[in-house]
């Protein structure tokens, strides 16, 4: 039943994509496409949520399409139900947002057909139950999102972003193809059921894990495979950016979870160490990159890299615990990671919607040209503030709960027997704490430079509040940030069936506890009550405000800012996002980015302005991508000569190649 | 009945920190003045300042938004709740199951987030400089604090502050290297978080090196009063935290009766007096650092915390 509804949803979405091509150029196409996407996502969300909470038996079907001897297998179990909830919640809010935002689209014909196709692709990946279908739908999802990245292709940066995205997506799919090839083994049965049954040798498992990390990691944005993400995500229209950053990266996490926890069999302890290390580095580097940006959407995209790091820290811990047969700590770590998957999809979509609203209102993504928008767009500012607080992992919002759970999992890990893990885990804990603190700094900067202070340009001065559809969609997500933060017990319980399926263990039931406190391990060990904390903070703030109102002077006078007696008339003298990040750039950036500041002062008596110049290098690009780029160009130059060979030389080449291949075959056998 | 009594202890605790916080600030100022052979303002001066401030009118900058006006109350409320969660004269508080040590650190983080936003709200260069430097300091102080929390909770097997404090009172603690490192790191973090010398100077104005004062430069009247009260509360919180962790003598447990509470209260006041005295002496004999030396200072705190946690990770086995 569940599967039928979901597959029908996909069919409707694909039909809508075709209809959007047919209706290109008509004004009514935009509301038509987004309304259908809205209704279909709502239906899929409801069904997936029911499947997750009901935790009935897995529902599977084999359709006679695709490879003739294989067919296409689809299946819904707890894991895919959870990710379907995340995907369709994102789709639902993005479609709602699109109803308003899509009206400003200059070239709707380049967006509308691909939007429902992208949604359908993501849902299909989560439903796929054989390697062939998985790879096909994965590639379909990548191509649909690539088309959306290229929607505004005349922009030179976007063309480059699209090219790099295409390269990285092909690389990722290639890695996954090889991973599934190894998993299927020589028998070549690509159905997930058969793969699950097979027991690969340790070397094959190691290769598959590496390939899965490369394949899913490149889509999710693990450092050093993240380079395409901050280019491609901001290039797309904002509701698509939200989907790519908030949701598509989660599909990549799904791919990794499916392979590492479900298909690959019992883990080895070093998998955990590898995933933890990657996660820790990704978290800190992601947020440091984000701090250096002044483009609002690019900052958000880099923050996705950070959050993917946090999710992989949780996954790595879960693998390490599972390898040592510590079931309940593994369930705790996996719950933390999966809860963060949900939370990040919620607040990242919200923040991208907010940046889209700013983009519509001002036409600017550059924070150095914004400012003071809280006066012109109060509702957007409020929603964006909620999202910023949530992503900075501050109580009482949801981001804090999932990071708190990750910390609790870290605190159980001294019991791990391996020495490497004993040394690694506290260091990863420090990296996680560092990234959380830097994230708060980053969002003070993002919110402060965009919404607070005085407007820096005329466009910021004349901004208008965004439309009702966009606002509704932002406020729904903001409410979810708060609800998941103050009532986390319900969400943790919903994840129980997922960890039960993957690890054979789950956290104790949370919702029956007194006052809705969450207790992941034991009452004496740790507990957290977001609801109580929220109520007490509100009560304390309210009582303080009441007391002040009752007994203090209520007089208030508006006056020019004091600024220590040196008020600056021009809003350009405010702290900008670059100056805000300067201390952090000096402390961390001098190592992480080789950041160098140069000040040029004119000689005394000269009436020239002083100049300040900052140079930063992207070390990951310089160390990995630039050499590859050089090598490819070098090889291409050499091969170029082949083009002008004579026919004799070509024939010699072909003959030589055949001889060599035959010799290899002969030696092999 | 017992529940009501416990709730009363929690409420008493909350009111106690509220009432004591300005006194502590005044006391530290008094000791510092004496060390400089000045007489200094009377002990109750901070109360008078607060009273005077709430009677004054608020002069609000024209570019201020609601963030600027709401932030003081949020900062005060979160700091007060965090302070009420730290055991002063008694452990086993009713409310302590709602938020553990990690949550207390995060609550202070929320207060800082609000304060930094308020600093940026007016759009002046001083506000920006304060917020920007505060977040740089926090980016090192917060992880250092969490590492200290890791160390303490690994020892006690719990992140609940009440359980940790009770564990520290027990006999099985002994002298440990990691505890010593955690104490040093905690003191360094406390100095940075409370904007004390050598990181920041609480008495400075019109100085490019100020951090905390730069953020609250535009505040006046009742808003300033609330923020000043929150700053005093934060200082008290950190001293109470150090006291209940590292000098847990005399602290009562909820339900032990009034005699125990009285002893707890008396020892608590003694500890505060000693802590405040040491702080004043330290501030008097130390010079303020350049802003970009602060990262070395706090980096050392972070490394100490990490080392302390690492030692425990390695020494504990399954």
Q: Which of A180-189, A326-335, B207-216, B246-255 has the highest mean pLDDT?
A: A326-335
Q: What is the DSSP secondary-structure string of A254-281?
A: HHHHIIIIIIS-SPPHHHHHHHHHHHHH
pLDDT per position as a tens digit, A303-344: 999 999 999 999 999 999 999 999 999 999 999 999 999 999
Please list the residues that pair with A600 across neighbouring strands: A611
Q: Are A297 and A352 in contact (CB under 8 A)?
A: yes
Which residue of A lies nearest to B51 if distances are taken between CA atoms? A552
Instruction: Please tell me the predicted confidence (pLDDT) of residue A56.
Output: 65
Task: Encode A14-56 in three state secondary structure.
Answer: HHHHHHHHHCCCCCCHHHHHHHHHHHHHHHHHHHHHHHHHHCC
Residue with structure tokens 């027990």? B170
pLDDT per position as a tens digit, B74-130: 999 999 999 988 988 888 777 778 889 999 999 999 999 999 999 999 988 889 999
Q: Does B167 touch chain A (CB under 8 A)?
A: no
Please list the residues that pair with A557 across neighbouring strands: B59
- Exposed, middle or buried: residue A290 (CB in 10 Å: 0-12, 13-18, 19+)? buried
Three-class DSSP category at A78: helix
Q: Does B303 touch chain A (CB under 8 A)?
A: no
Three-class DSSP category at A463: coil
- Chain A positions in Cβ-Cβ contact with residue B306 (cut-off 8 Å): 426-427, 430
pLDDT per position as a tens digit, A38-78: 999 999 999 999 999 886 677 888 888 878 878 899 999 99
- Chain B positions in Cβ-Cβ contact with residue A428 (cut-off 8 Å): none
A325: left (phi over 0), alpha (psi -120 to 50) or beta: left
Instruction: Please tell me the predicted confidence (pLDDT) of residue A106.
Output: 87
- Chain B positions in Cβ-Cβ contact with residue A524 (cut-off 8 Å): 157-158, 160, 163
Q: Which of B10, B111, B139, B165 to mutate to test the interface with A (most CBs of A within 10 A)?
A: B139
pLDDT per position as a tens digit, A126-174: 999 999 999 999 999 999 999 999 998 888 889 999 999 999 999 999 9
Residue A557: what are its φ and ψ, rounded to 5°?
-130, 135
- Chain B positions in Cβ-Cβ contact with residue A568 (cut-off 8 Å): 124-125
How many pairs of residues across A and B have Cβ atoms under 8 Å apart? 296
- Between CA A639 and CA A297 the distance in angstroms is 40
pLDDT per position as a tens digit, A104-116: 888 888 999 999 9
Residue with structure tokens 């308003």? A100
CA angle at residue A322 from A316 to A328, to 5 degrees?
105
Which residue of B lies nearest to A371 if distances are taken between CA atoms? B123
User: Do A579 and B132 lie within an 8 Å CB cutoff?
Assistant: yes
Across the interface, of B95, B117, B206, the residue whose CB is closest to A444 is B117
Residue with structure tokens 């996705």? A304
Q: Are A644 and A630 in contact (CB under 8 A)?
A: no
Omega within 30 of 0 (cis) for the link into A396: yes
User: Do B116 and A584 lie within an 8 Å CB cutoff?
Assistant: no
Across the interface, of A385, A407, A564, the residue whose CB is closest to B217 is A564
User: Do B113 and A394 lie within an 8 Å CB cutoff?
Assistant: yes
- Between CA B264 and CA A377 the distance in angstroms is 52
State both tokens at A296. 């609002």
**Helix residue ranges per DSSP H, chain B:** 2-35, 45-55, 66-85, 101-121, 125-156, 161-169, 177-193, 212-215, 221-246, 258-285, 294-315
User: Do B54 and A548 lie within an 8 Å CB cutoff?
Assistant: yes
Instruction: Give percent of chain A above pLDDT 90.
Output: 77
Among the listed residues A466, A485, A220, A232, the one whose alpha carbon sits nearest the alpha carbon of residue A355: A466
A546-582 per-residue burial string, b: 16 or more CB within 10 A, e: under 16: eebeeebeeeeeeeebbbbeeeeeebebbbbbbbbbb
Among the listed residues A192, A197, A258, the one whose alpha carbon sits nearest the alpha carbon of residue A60: A192
Which residue of A lies nearest to B75 if distances are taken between CA atoms? A541
- Between CA A279 and CA A275 the distance in angstroms is 6
Among the listed residues A157, A43, A162, A40, the one whose alpha carbon sits nearest the alpha carbon of residue A110: A162
Instruction: Please tell me the predicted confidence (pLDDT) of residue A55.
Output: 62
pLDDT at B317 exceeding the cut of 70: no
Instruction: Please tell me the predicted confidence (pLDDT) of residue B1.
Output: 63
Across the interface, of B103, B133, B135, the residue whose CB is closest to A440 is B135
User: Do A411 and B150 lie within an 8 Å CB cutoff?
Assistant: yes
Count of residues making up chain B: 318
Instruction: Please tell me the predicted confidence (pLDDT) of residue B205.
Output: 66
Rounded to a whole number of angstroms, the distance from the CA of A423 to the nearest CA of chain B is: 7
Q: Which of A527, A557, A567, A592 to mutate to test the interface with B (most CBs of B within 10 A)?
A: A527
CA separation, residue B280 to residues A435, A610, B37 (Å) = 33, 42, 13
Q: Does B209 touch chain A (CB under 8 A)?
A: no
Across the interface, of A449, A525, A553, the residue whose CB is closest to B222 is A553
- Between CA B294 and CA B192 the distance in angstroms is 8
Q: Which of A367, A419, A433, A577 to mutate to test the interface with B (most CBs of B within 10 A)?
A: A433
- Between CA A580 and CA A558 the distance in angstroms is 27
Rounded to the nearest 10 degrees, the angle between the axes of helix A249-257 and helix A202-220 is 170
pLDDT at A484 exceeding the cut of 50: yes
Average pLDDT, chain A: 92
Q: Does B295 touch chain A (CB under 8 A)?
A: yes
Among the listed residues A92, A32, A69, the one whose alpha carbon sits nearest the alpha carbon of residue A188: A69
Instruction: Please tell me the predicted confidence (pLDDT) of residue B318.
Output: 44
Residue A659: what are its φ and ψ, rounded to 5°?
-60, -45
Instruction: Please tell me the predicted confidence (pLDDT) of residue B207.
Output: 60
Rounded to a whole number of angstroms, the distance from the CA of B28 to the nearest CA of chain A is: 26
pTM score, two decimals?
0.95
pLDDT per position as a tens digit, B221-273: 999 999 999 999 999 999 999 998 898 888 888 777 788 889 999 999 999 99
pLDDT band at A7 (very low <50, low <70, confident <90, very high): very high
- Chain A positions in Cβ-Cβ contact with residue B309 (cut-off 8 Å): 426, 429-430
User: Do A528 and B99 lie within an 8 Å CB cutoff?
Assistant: yes
Rounded to a whole number of angstroms, the distance from the CA of A440 to the nearest CA of chain B is: 7
Across the interface, of B103, B127, B143, the residue whose CB is closest to A437 is B143
Question: What is the DSSP secondary structure assignment for residue A128, as one 8-state letter?
Answer: B
Q: Are B273 and B114 in contact (CB under 8 A)?
A: no
pLDDT average, residue stretch A653-661: 96
Across the interface, of B55, B113, B136, the residue whose CB is closest to A587 is B136
User: Do B146 and A408 lie within an 8 Å CB cutoff?
Assistant: no
pLDDT per position as a tens digit, A346-394: 999 999 999 999 999 999 999 999 999 999 999 999 999 999 999 999 9
- Chain B positions in Cβ-Cβ contact with residue A436 (cut-off 8 Å): 142-143
Q: Are B132 and A500 in contact (CB under 8 A)?
A: no
- Chain A positions in Cβ-Cβ contact with residue B80 (cut-off 8 Å): 540, 544
Among the listed residues A429, A438, A284, the one whose alpha carbon sits nearest the alpha carbon of residue B141: A438
Question: What is the DSSP secondary structure assignment for residue A452, as one 8-state letter?
Answer: S
Q: Are B102 and A394 in contact (CB under 8 A)?
A: no
pLDDT per position as a tens digit, A255-297: 999 999 999 988 999 999 999 999 999 999 999 999 999 999 9
User: Do B124 and A574 lie within an 8 Å CB cutoff?
Assistant: yes
pLDDT per position as a tens digit, A564-587: 787 777 888 888 999 999 999 999
User: Do B123 and A416 lie within an 8 Å CB cutoff?
Assistant: no
Q: Does B28 touch chain A (CB under 8 A)?
A: no
């Amino acid at each position: 039943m569940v599967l039928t509804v979901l597959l029908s949803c996909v069919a409707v979405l694909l039909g809508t994509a075709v209809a959007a091509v047919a209706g290109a150029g008509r004004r009514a196409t935009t509301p038509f496409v987004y309304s259908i996407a809205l209704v279909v996502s709502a239906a899929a969300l409801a069904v997936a949520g029911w499947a997750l909470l009901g935790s009935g038996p897995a529902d599977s079907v084999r359709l006679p399409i695709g490879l003739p001897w294989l067919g296409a297998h689809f299946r819904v179990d707890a894991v895919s139900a959870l990710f379907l909830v995340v995907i369709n919640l994102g789709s639902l809010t993005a479609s709602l947002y699109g109803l308003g935002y899509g009206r400003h689209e200059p070239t709707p014909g380049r967006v509308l057909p691909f939007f429902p196709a992208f949604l359908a692709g993501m849902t299909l990946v989560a439903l796929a139950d054989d390697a062939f279908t998985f790879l096909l739908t994965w590639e379909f999802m990548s191509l649909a999102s690539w088309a959306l990245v290229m929607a505004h292709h005349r922009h030179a940066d976007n063309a480059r972003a699209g090219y790099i995205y295409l390269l990285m997506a092909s690389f990722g799919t290639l890695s996954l193809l090889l991973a599934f090839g190894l998993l299927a083994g020589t028998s070549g049965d690509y159905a997930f059921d058969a793969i699950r049954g097979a027991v690969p040798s340790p070397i094959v498992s190691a290769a598959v894990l590496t390939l899965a990390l490369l394949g899913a990691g490149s889509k999710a944005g693990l450092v050093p495979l993240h380079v395409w993400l901050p280019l491609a995500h901001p290039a797309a229209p904002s509701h698509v950016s939200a989907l790519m950053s908030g949701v598509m990266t989660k599909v990549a996490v799904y791919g990794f979870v499916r392979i590492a926890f479900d298909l690959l069999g019992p883990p080895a302890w070093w998998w955990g160490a590898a995933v933890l290390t990657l996660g820790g580095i990704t978290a800190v580097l992601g947020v440091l990159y984000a701090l250096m940006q002044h483009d609002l959407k690019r900052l958000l995209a880099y923050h996705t890299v950070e959050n993917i790091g946090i999710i992989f820290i949780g996954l790595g811990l879960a693998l390490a615990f599972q390898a040592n047969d510590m079931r309940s700590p593994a369930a705790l770590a996996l719950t933390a990671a999966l809860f963060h998957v949900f939370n990040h999809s919620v607040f990242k979509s919200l923040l991208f919607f907010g940046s889209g609203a700013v983009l519509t209102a001002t036409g600017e993504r550059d924070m150095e040209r914004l400012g003071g928008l809280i006066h012109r767009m109060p509702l957007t500012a409020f929603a964006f503030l909620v999202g910023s607080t949530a992503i900075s992992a501050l109580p009482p919002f949801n981001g804090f709960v999932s990071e708190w759970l990750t910390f609790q999992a870290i605190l159980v890990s001294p019991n791990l027997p391996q020495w490497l893990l004993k040394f690694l885990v506290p260091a990863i804990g420090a990296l996680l704490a560092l990234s959380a603190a830097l994230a708060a700094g980053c969002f003070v900067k993002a919110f402060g430079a965009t919404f607070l202070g005085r407007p820096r340009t005329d466009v910021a001065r004349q901004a208008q509040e965004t439309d009702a559809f966009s606002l509704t969609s932002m406020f729904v997500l903001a409410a979810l940030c708060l609800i998941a933060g103050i009532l986390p017990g319900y969400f943790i319980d919903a994840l129980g069936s997922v960890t039960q399926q993957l690890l054979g263990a789950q956290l104790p039931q949370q919702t029956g506890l007194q006052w809705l406190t969450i207790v992941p391990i034991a009452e004496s060990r740790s507990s957290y009550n977001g609801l109580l904390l929220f109520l007490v903070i509100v009560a304390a703030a309210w009582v303080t405000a009441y007391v002040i109102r009752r007994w203090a002077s209520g007089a208030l006078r508006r006056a020019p800012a004091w600024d220590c007696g040196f008020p600056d008339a021009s809003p350009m003298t405010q702290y900008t996002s670059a100056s805000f990040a300067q201390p952090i750039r000096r402390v961390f950036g001098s190592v992480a980015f080789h950041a160098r500041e140069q000040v040029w002062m004119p000689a005394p008596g000269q009436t020239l302005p002083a100049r300040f110049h900052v140079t930063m290098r992207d070390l990951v690009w310089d160390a990995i991508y630039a050499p590859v780029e050089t090598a490819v160009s070098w090889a291409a130059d050499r091969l170029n000569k082949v083009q002008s060979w004579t026919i004799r030389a070509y024939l010699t080449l072909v003959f030589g190649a055949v001889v060599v291949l035959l010799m290899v075959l002969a030696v092999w056998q | 009945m017992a529940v009501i009594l416990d709730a009363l202890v929690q409420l008493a605790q909350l009111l106690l920190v509220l009432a004591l916080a300005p006194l502590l600030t005044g006391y530290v100022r008094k000791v510092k003045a004496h060390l400089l052979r000045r007489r200094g303002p009377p002990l109750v001066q901070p109360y008078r300042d607060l009273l005077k401030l709430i009677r004054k009118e608020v002069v609000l900058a024209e570019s201020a938004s609601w963030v600027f006006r709401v932030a003081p109350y949020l900062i005060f409320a979160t700091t007060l709740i965090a302070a009420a969660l730290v055991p002063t004269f008694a452990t086993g508080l009713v409310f302590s199951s709602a938020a553990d040590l990690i949550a207390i650190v995060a609550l202070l983080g929320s207060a800082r987030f609000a304060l930094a936003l308020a600093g940026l709200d007016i759009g002046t260069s001083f506000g920006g400089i304060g917020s920007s430097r505060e977040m740089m300091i926090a980016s090192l102080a917060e992880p250092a604090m969490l590492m200290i929390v890791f160390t303490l909770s690994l020892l006690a097997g719990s992140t609940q502050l009440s359980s940790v404090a009770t564990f520290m009172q027990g006999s099985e603690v002994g002298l440990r290297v990691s505890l010593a490192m955690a104490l040093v790191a905690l003191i360094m973090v406390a100095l940075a978080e409370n904007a004390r010398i050598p990181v920041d100077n609480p008495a400075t104005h019109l100085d490019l090196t100020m951090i905390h004062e730069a953020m609250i430069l535009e505040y006046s009247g009742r808003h300033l009063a609330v923020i000043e009260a929150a700053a005093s509360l934060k200082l008290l919180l950190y001293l109470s935290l150090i006291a209940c962790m590292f000098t847990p003598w005399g602290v009562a447990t909820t339900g032990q009766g009034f005699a125990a509470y009285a002893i707890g209260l008396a020892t608590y006041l003694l500890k505060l007096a000693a802590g405040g005295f040491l702080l004043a002496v330290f501030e008097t004999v130390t010079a303020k650092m350049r802003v970009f030396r602060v990262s070395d200072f706090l980096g050392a705190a972070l490394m100490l915390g990490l080392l302390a946690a690492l030692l425990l990770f390695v020494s504990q086995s399954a």
